[in-house]
Amino acid sequence: MGKLDGKVALVTGAARGIGAAIARGLAVEGAHVALNDILPPEETIAAIESTGGSASAAVADVTDRELAETTVQNLTADRGKIDILVTNAAYSDRELFYKANMEGFEKTIDVCMWGPFNYLRAAANAMIQQGTGGSVVVVSSPHAIKAIPGAMAYNMAKAAIDQMARTAACELAEHRIRVNIVHPGWTNTPGERKFFHETELSEKGGELPWGRLAEPDEIARAAVFLCAPNSDYINGSTISIDGGALLPHEQMFRIQGRPDV
């Protein structure tokens, strides 16, 4: 018996990386998982089904609001309901904002801000109509609170969806729909290869307090926990899974090498 037996979940950006790991984790706990992505998610679906889980594809662009609503409607028509939503789809370019290609800048905002909103709104309406409550996990980022240079659009979008999630948690509480946030730290995903070579990821990961990057399954465990009944009293909260990366670890130089420490 899994903690999510009989539940129906929708995960955006689920074809690979963190989203795929979350989809697998939800399925292991017994949920049927609909995998949304612009990429075909068949590989992740096959992995889920190979271990006895249940999954289906929901290929769609998260920036299309009407398509988001249709995706949720199709899922509820097929499975009878939706209990869980995890918004994970993301996109990012890295450029100085005053030189940025605005097409990429706006795409980052559309995917990372409007995408989560589109699916949150569609799923919330379905859950309210069902009257059975639900759980939403918004995969955000430490970029929401730390201004990483060269990532202004991503920083802006992640800060926005943190506020979106907290506001939704307040507005949906009367419907017994919980909304929580996960902040993954630097994670070993295919998306990081857009910005860094393997040697850079290894070297820079070694400079983090925990000495390595996170693995997608480590982020997934927190998301699955927030969807499960034993987290029922957690609402409007943020869980950071970053190995202490936001701690002031750079300041350790002040005491390292001192004879009295």
Distance CA 52, CA 37 (A): 22
Of the candidates 91, 98, 119, 154, the residue annotated as catalytic is 154
Distance CA 111, CA 127 (A): 23
> What does the block give as tokens for 11?
């995960």
Angle at 193 between CA 36 and CA 59, to 5 degrees: 15
The CA R_g of the chain, rounded to the nearest whole Å, is: 19
Does residue 119 carry a catalytic annotation? no
3 state DSSP class of 192:
helix
Return the DSSP state at 214. Answer: B
Q: Bin 202: left if φ > 0, else alpha if -120 < ψ < 50, else beta.
A: alpha
> What does the block give as tokens for 228?
């499960």
The catalytic residue positions are: 154
